[in-house]
A = this chain, B = another copy of it.
Amino acid sequence: MNDNRTVKSHDLLPEPTLRRLPWYLAYVTMLKSEGVEYVSSTRIADELCVDASQIAKDLSFINIKGKTRIGYEVSSLKDALRRFLGFCDRHNAVMVGVGSLGAALMQDSGLQRYGLNIVAGIDTDPRLEGRRIADIPVFAPDRLADLVQSLAITIGIVAVPVESAQTVADSLVAAGVKALWNFTPTRIRVPQEVVITNTSIYSHLAVMYNRLGSQKT
């Protein structure tokens, strides 16, 4: 655990707050690159269409308070948000399923910038075994438990076909990961102590198509 973290970071934050914090981070990162030193919650509010009082409340969770009339100091707000969001720590992860989406994510250097360190890939395809994707080695499934232990992997990313999703999740949990990041469009069951985050990009497509269709009438 990073000593720089405030005690607050261990609290279970409301998910809407957690989803807004990266917006604030993105905005102050941009302001910093433009040389801006201070920003008011009103300005953040205008830019991001979030209520100013909501912003003050969200930021109070991470023990950041603005100064009257001056607002927030951009540089320290940026650092505090990055630390709080866990983007400064290194979280070792294994990608299970080095198919189209899995391989694509392994090549996204953005994940690394946000603290996700994919240290190994796993695939059932023997042709992938021993290969490297974005310099990350790919292994056969029987290496999973061993890799999770020896590489101190805490996060398992599930990017396999739907029919294997639950089996893969079960073996990741058995191997000892603490969190699963599910990219399949199905629901995965995990024990209560395991964190699960669903990023079903295909479900987002369905929402978008429906909204598009309804606007044509």
Interface check A140, CB cutoff 8 A: no
- Contact B205 A111, beta carbon cutoff 8 Å: yes
A151 within 8 A of B: no
Please determine whether A107 and B104 come into contact, CB atoms closer than 8 angstroms: yes
B213, A29: Cβ atoms closer than 8 Å: no
Q: How far is the CA of A58 from the CA of B194 in the complex (A)?
A: 28
Assess the A195–B215 pair: CB atoms within 8 A.
yes
Which residue of B has the minimal Cβ distance to A197? B208
> By the criterion CB–CB under 8 Å, are A204 and B213 in contact?
no
Binds B, one of A6-14, A70-78, A122-130: A6-14
Would A12 and B193 count as touching, CB distance under 8 A? no
A195 CA to B208 CA, complexed, in Å: 7
Q: Which of A159-217 contact B (CB under 8 A)?
A: 162-163, 178-179, 181, 184-187, 189, 193, 195, 197, 199-217
Chain A interface residues toward B at CB < 8 A = 1, 5, 9-13, 15, 18-19, 21-23, 25-27, 29-30, 33, 47-50, 85-87, 89, 91, 100-101, 103-105, 107-111, 114-116, 154-155, 162-163, 178-179, 181, 184-187, 189, 193, 195, 197, 199-217
Kindly list 5 other residue pairs between chains A and B, CB separation below 8 angstroms, not including A1-B213, A22-B202: A21-B206, A86-B205, A86-B209, A100-B108, A195-B212
